[in-house]
Amino acid sequence: MGTAKKALIVSPYLDHLGGGERYMLSVAEVLESLGNEIYFAWDNLEEVNKLAGMLGIKLVSPRLDPSVKKLYFGNNPSSMFLATRPYDIVVYLSDGSIPLLGGKRNILHMQVPFHGVGGRSWKNQLKKRFIDHVIVNSSFTKEIIDKEYGINSTILYPPVKKVVCKSSKENLILSVGRFEPSLNAKKQDVLIDVWRALAPTIPGWRLVLAGASASDDWVNSLKARAEGLPIEFAVGVSYDKLCDLYGKATIYWHAAGFGIDEKKNPELTEHFGISTVEAVSALCIPLVVPRGGQTEIVSNPDLHWNTKEELMDKTLALIANQDRSNYLSEIIIDAYTDTAFATKLGTLIV
């Protein structure tokens, strides 16, 4: 038997839950299943295992390489090159820059539609030669990344586990997204404002806002804003609890990208929308802001909203419509499965 190949996962934020971290841990899960030894550029194994557990991602025997973690923000290309040299596969989450990687096979993941960052600089042109593939999470991200860096990136949609529903549908509207007021904000404050006007007209319905917290202050401000309303905050809930909420929810609200000029600030939109796919898999009818990657998932304009009034009107229309199954039959999510992700990633590492 030959020696197992060594794969290094480089992500600087493995201590909190976000789309990029979920994506990179999914890469690790697939690479490990293909027989590779998995190393994380991190210094705390408990944090990695905790994050994987929250996401329902199975890692058998992850290892650490803390030396690479220190180099992520170090701006020392030669040191990064030497530190990654021992690895057969390196998968690196970019912060907008192109690193100098020394692995035998180097994959750069651009999670964010970076623009105006000097992507075609001579330094990037040089370092680009050591990158075998640049992978992105949507056609939306690809269009912006390719233009900025002068590359032909590969779309590798995030893998989304189908939510198995064990509960009956209830009069429940659900929104899932990290609680933070900054980059790629999920705009829970907007949803609370809509709910304040809508809730009195649909007695018996409730709104649940779920997700990990990146800011306790933000969560507290949202709770104060929601005082007196039939709203439940499910902060930091387990994956099983989240699946239970998806199973009970009839309608899914998503507000990322609301009020954003997509041309000027594409990074502030939803770059893909994992939670929207999860919701659809659990037979929730999604109402989304038609910006970023959301329109790749939900193309029907009947399920798009751009104003608070429009979200109210379309929610009321869905509640009044007893036959909603036709909306879901139009949304094809086969491209976002674990199997599709694993198969395509497998072709990139050989």
Distances (CA, A) of 235 to 19, 190, 213, 214: 16, 18, 6, 10
- CA 229 vs. chain centroid, Å, equals 29
Cα–Cα distance, 115 to 130 (Å, whole number)? 22
Q: Which neighbouring-strand residues pair with 206?
A: 172
In a domain, 166, yes or no: no
Quickly state the pLDDT bin for 56 (edges 50, 70, 90): confident
Instruction: Enter the pTM of the model.
Output: 0.90
| pLDDT, tens digit (0-9, with 9 covering 90-100), for 257-292 | 999 888 898 888 888 989 999 999 999 999 999 999
Cα–Cα distance, 262 to 265 (Å, whole number)? 5
Number of domains in the chain: 2
CATH number at residue 208: 3.40.50.2000
Note the pLDDT of residue 208.
98
Cα–Cα distance, 182 to 218 (Å, whole number)? 10
Average pLDDT over all residues of the chain: 92
Domain range for 54 is: 6-159+337-348
Q: Span 38-52, mean pLDDT?
A: 94
- Tell me the three-class secondary structure of 273-329, residue by residue: CHHHHHHHHCCCEEEECCCCCHHHHCCCHHHECCCHHHHHHHHHHHHHCCCCHHHHH
Answer yes or no: are the C-beta atoms of 92 and 116 closer than 8 Å: no
**198 and 291 inside one domain:** yes
In a domain, 264, yes or no: yes
Rounding to the nearest 10 degrees, give the CA dihedral for residues 307, 313, 319, 324. -70
In a domain, 165, yes or no: no
CB atoms within 10 A of CB 64: 15
Residues whose CB is less than 8 angstroms from the CB of residue 144 and which lie 6 or more positions away in sequence, other chains included: 113, 114, 115, 266
**179 and 318 inside one domain:** yes
User: To which residue do tokens 């909603």 refer?
Assistant: 324
In a domain, 189, yes or no: yes
**136 and 256 inside one domain:** no
**120 and 35 inside one domain:** yes
**185 and 278 inside one domain:** yes
Between 36 and 322, the more confident residue is: 36
**43 and 154 inside one domain:** yes
* Token pair listed for 335: 């491209």
**94 and 204 inside one domain:** no
Cα–Cα distance, 43 to 96 (Å, whole number)? 23
User: Exposed/middle/buried for 27, CB within 10 Å: 0-12, 13-18, 19+?
Assistant: buried
* Token pair listed for 17: 């839950």
**Above 70 in pLDDT, residue 183?**
no
User: To which residue do tokens 């979920």 refer?
Assistant: 22
**142 and 27 inside one domain:** yes
In a domain, 297, yes or no: yes
Answer yes or no: are the C-beta atoms of 300 and 330 closer than 8 Å: yes
**217 and 136 inside one domain:** no
What is the 8-class DSSP label of residue 4?
Answer: P
**Above 70 in pLDDT, residue 36?**
yes
**254 and 323 inside one domain:** yes
Answer yes or no: are the C-beta atoms of 149 and 307 closer than 8 Å: no
Question: For a pLDDT cut of 70, what percent of the chain falls above it?
Answer: 99
Quickly state the pLDDT bin for 2 (edges 50, 70, 90): low
What is the 8-class DSSP label of residue 179?
Answer: B
**Above 60 in pLDDT, residue 207?**
yes
**50 and 145 inside one domain:** yes
Residues whose CB is less than 8 angstroms from the CB of residue 9 and which lie 6 or more positions away in sequence, other chains included: 24, 25, 27, 28, 31, 38, 39, 40, 41, 91
In a domain, 15, yes or no: yes
In a domain, 239, yes or no: yes
Between 134 and 51, the more confident residue is: 134
In a domain, 164, yes or no: no
Closest of 321, 324, 294 to residue 306, by C-alpha: 294
Question: For a pLDDT cut of 90, what percent of the chain falls above it?
Answer: 76
* Helix count and strand count (H, E) for the chain: 14, 12
User: Exposed/middle/buried for 31, CB within 10 Å: 0-12, 13-18, 19+?
Assistant: buried
Q: Span 291-318, mean pLDDT?
A: 95
**154 and 265 inside one domain:** no
